[in-house]
């Protein structure tokens, strides 16, 4: 029997500790597989965890104060037993399409992957600090010379794969 491995890569922003996040991903994946008719959960989950490169402390599930920067706003909660069919309205589809076109116009230019003009640079630095650090050439977290966020995250991904 072939080994089944699922690789999870978390998104931007701080996260709970690796062990907690991995457990949540495993529970969520098992739940999703059950909902689509695959109740047997024989797979290995590999998590590419890189929040520790960007944040000195992980989010903490024990913190209940919502104003604390380490508060976990979205912990794992089991989904509904009953499947919910979702179909976005025509207006929501149009809005999503327009938002995508606007973001493409701001960030993507012909013959370039990402274009950082003053406006996109401002938005990224204010709203997506992790992304700004990813593209920044300054050192992060442990101040190892030459190890930039982009490189460290790439190394984390390579070691997981």
The yes-or-no verdict on residue 119 having pLDDT over 80 is: no
Q: What is the pLDDT of residues 144-155, one digit of tens each?
A: 444 567 777 788
Say if residue 89 is exposed, middle or buried (CB neighbours under 10 Å; 0-12, 13-18, 19+): exposed
Could you tell me if residue 104 is inside a domain?
A: no
Containing structural domain, residue 79: 5-86
- N-to-C CA span, the chain: 20
Closest CA to 4 of 52, 55, 41: 41
- Name the phi and psi angles at 45, rounded to 5: -105, 120
Could you tell me if residue 77 is inside a domain?
A: yes
Q: What is the pLDDT of residues 131-143, one digit of tens each?
A: 776 666 655 555 5
| Calpha distance 34→130 (Å, rounded) | 33
The yes-or-no verdict on residue 17 having pLDDT over 90 is: yes
Could you tell me if residue 160 is inside a domain?
A: no
Query: Count of domains in the chain?
Result: 1
Could you tell me if residue 56 is inside a domain?
A: yes
Helix, strand or coil for residue 63?
coil
Which is more confident, 98 or 103? 98
Could you tell me if residue 114 is inside a domain?
A: no
């Amino acid at each position: 029997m072939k080994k089944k491995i699922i690789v999870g890569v978390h998104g931007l922003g701080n996260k709970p500790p690796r062990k907690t996040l991995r457990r949540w991903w495993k529970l969520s994946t098992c739940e999703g597989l059950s909902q689509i008719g695959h109740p047997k959960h024989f797979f290995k989950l590999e998590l590419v965890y890189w929040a520790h490169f960007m944040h000195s402390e992980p989010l903490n599930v024990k913190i209940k104060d919502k104003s604390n920067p380490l508060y976990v706003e979205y912990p794992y909660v089991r989904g509904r037993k009953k499947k919910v069919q979702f179909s976005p309205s025509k207006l929501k589809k149009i809005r999503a399409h327009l938002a995508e076109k606007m973001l493409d116009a701001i960030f993507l230019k012909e013959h370039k992957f990402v274009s950082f003009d003053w406006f996109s640079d401002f938005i990224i630095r204010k709203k997506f600090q992790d992304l700004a650090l990813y593209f920044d050439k300054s050192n992060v977290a442990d101040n190892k010379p030459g190890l930039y966020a982009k490189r460290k995250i790439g190394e984390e991904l390579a070691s997981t794969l």
